[in-house]
Structure 1
Amino acid sequence: MAQMTDDERYAAIRARDTRFDGMFFTCVRSTGIFCRPSCPARTPQRGGVEFVPSAAAALAAGYRACKRCGPTAPPGSPDDDPAGSLAGRALRLIDEGALDEGTVPALSARLAVSERTLHRALVQVTGAGALAHARMRRARRAHELVVGSTQPLAQVAHAAGFGSERQFHETFSQIFGHAPRSCARGRGTAAP
């Protein structure tokens, strides 16, 4: 492969092209950090960057690693894809019920990132934010409870993490295309 010019490298970082990750690193003089070509941070001015062939070369030149793109992580490690790793951790916590009683600000604080960073990571990896994932989790749990138990629907709503029975009915109907009562028919009645 032919040697890239600095102008071609700069075009790659402006495009945030992941194909060039590991081929070179961008050192930003004003901040003293170095990044992968695909770093989601704002693209620095052309005159304020230099390019090096390795993370070791950037460190030797006195630059520190970017916290957003994790340029020092070995390929395939969890830190190699910080957005994916963050999204994965967030999704695990959401699946464990972190947003049933908690809030998105509390979840982002627990993950030691801003709400905006959390939202970006989830949207980048999954296409949806934290609240949409929590809503889907509640709906799946509610469906399991409606079909597999004899609890009254009000108890199902609470057990699935919904704030109100109305919210439960609206979400359930929107996601599954029918009211919860239609699944509940024939499952028997709850004991008094």
Structure 2
Amino acid sequence: MLILMNVMNESPRRKELTRQAARLFVQEGFDRTTVRMLADEMGIKSGSLFHHFRDKQAILAAVIEEGTQNALNMAHQALNDTGETASARLHAMARAHLQTLHTDRNAHVVALYEWRRLEPAARSHLSHLRDAYEALWESVIDDALTAGLIHGDRFLVSRFIMGALNWTVRWYDPEGERTPDELANELVAMLTQPSN
């Protein structure tokens, strides 16, 4: 049985190695990234890498775990810091999601696009984090639907919102003209426009 360590409780060195691996996975893709490339990027010998990780799969799992846990933490914090209205909660979740692109972009991209590369045991172990994040979104969307703020089928609305937000990793520049707050406001405004 595969046992994965929670990277959130690991040493600062392991966290730094995980962040560097995330950057390389984004640049090269998981399949094209070799252990030697990872070691070179991290400034260590290939053999030393295995003091921190079992293999390349364990590095991928650590990157995805850290990225997903960070996104979940940011979402919880955003909801805790906002009002109770459906509108405030929807804005808070959209802002938090976009903020992950500014604070943890590489891990976020790896979690989105390299999830399928995880071995089944790692995928099973980490699915609870992804499910918890999606459950938060579904709760916020349910509140918005109940309040009449947005309309439509819950499943489709959820997929459209998550798809739109996730696609921003391809085009959104957090250092550009629009802040995550402004972009979140635009998204929510589009979703909540009254129908004619």
Same fold (TM over 0.5): no
Give the strand-richer structure, 1 or 2: 1
Higher relative contact order (CA 8 A, sep 6+): 2
* Structure with greater Cα Rg: 1
